[in-house]
Amino acid sequence: MFHVPPVSHALDDAIRRAIDGKTKPLGALGVLETVGAQIARIQHTLTPRLRHCRLTIFAGDHGIAAEGVSPYPQAVTRQMVTNFLAGGAAANVFARTNGVDLQVVDAGVAGHSMEAPGLVSRRIAAGTRNCAVEPAMSPEQCEEALSAGEALGAAVAADAAAFGEMGIGNTSSATLVAHKLTGAGLDSLVGRGAGLDDAGLERKHAILDRAARRTAARLDGQDALREYGGFEMAMMAGAMVGAARAGAVVLVDGFIAGAVALAAVRLAPALRDYLVFAHRSAEHGHGAVLLALEARPLLAFDMRLGEGTGALLAWPVLKCAAAMLSEMASFESAGVSGPV
């Protein structure tokens, strides 16, 4: 478990020559060249192709929601799962627009088991425990979530895998996971989540400070997820590992997915080279997570929705980066004079 094969760098020089030989000034396509090279490295070819992407949205509830860390009631998690299945959420709209398959997974939504056409059930329990006062999940539950996610990630059967999340309270959980993995102070991490006002933000900070004091200052990836994560977060971490092991490019969404990716990289360091970071979230703590991952996101649209929406918007950029290497003419093939 948690094994990802290291990306080969054997073609690095050839990839660089191929990119530099395209009919353009050196470096003229900027970050697109970096991403194209990364995709070529993952696929171990000078002619990479990205035809198919799948978005998996993991849904789960968080015990810490009982502390009032979100302005929305916990019932919204279940309601949004129904919305995803009906095709009405932003993630559905963006997925349809960009030709991306979408599946929804019940990782642990509060209440009774959900049964609906198209819903994948990998339910661990009816939500996690309140991580402000006790570990969010047992070691066995964390292992089960990671394993279930790993199997789902390995089965995506796509060139690229994107992962989204839904769970009232999961911005708080992600903040605590990021705090324990980066060592960054809560002041630099705590944000408004689903739209807290100033009083709500101050209350959230106090609650998260109390939760953070339960454990050591720093935790490893699995312990951070077990103590503070959600079932949907642990499942997503496993899915990133599984998808990378299957050879897929892994598109990382915003703050919550970024915190999960950081935990997953701590579990499987070779995963880092498979990750493409879609966008910089407007959520306060995302910068610290990106810094810890040495990541440069592709987009910055001041978004903080989750659901994998930022990853979906980045998907056309990835397709263009791969097509640049595979389809763009070289100076030699086009009969165009290169630089002198």
Provide CB contacts within 8 A for 92, sequence distance 6+.
84, 102
Provide CB contacts within 8 A for 43, sequence distance 6+.
49, 159, 247
Q: Per-residue pLDDT for 195 more than 90?
A: no
In a domain, 57, yes or no: yes
In a domain, 29, yes or no: no
The vertex-62 CA angle with 61 and 67, nearest 5°, equals 135
Question: What is the reported pLDDT for 1?
Answer: 66
Provide CB contacts within 8 A for 67, sequence distance 6+.
130, 132, 207
In a domain, 47, yes or no: no
Would you give the DSSP letter of residue 254?
S
In a domain, 58, yes or no: yes
Q: How far is 96 from 86, CA to CA, in rounded Å?
A: 13
Question: What is the reported pLDDT for 295?
Answer: 98
Please state the domain count of the chain.
1
Catalytic residues: 307
Instruction: Return the bridge partners of 58, or none.
Output: 105, 165
Domain harbouring 183, CATH code: 3.40.50.10210
In a domain, 339, yes or no: no
In a domain, 325, yes or no: no
* Residue 204 amino acid letter: K
In a domain, 111, yes or no: yes
In a domain, 104, yes or no: yes
pLDDT in tens, 77-101: 999 999 999 999 999 999 999 999 9
Residue 118's domain spans which residues? 53-317
Q: What are phi and psi of 103, to 5 degrees?
A: -130, 150
pLDDT in tens, 111-158: 999 999 999 999 999 999 999 999 999 999 999 999 999 999 999 999
The vertex-259 CA angle with 40 and 210, nearest 5°, equals 170
Query: Helix, strand, or coil here: 58?
Result: strand
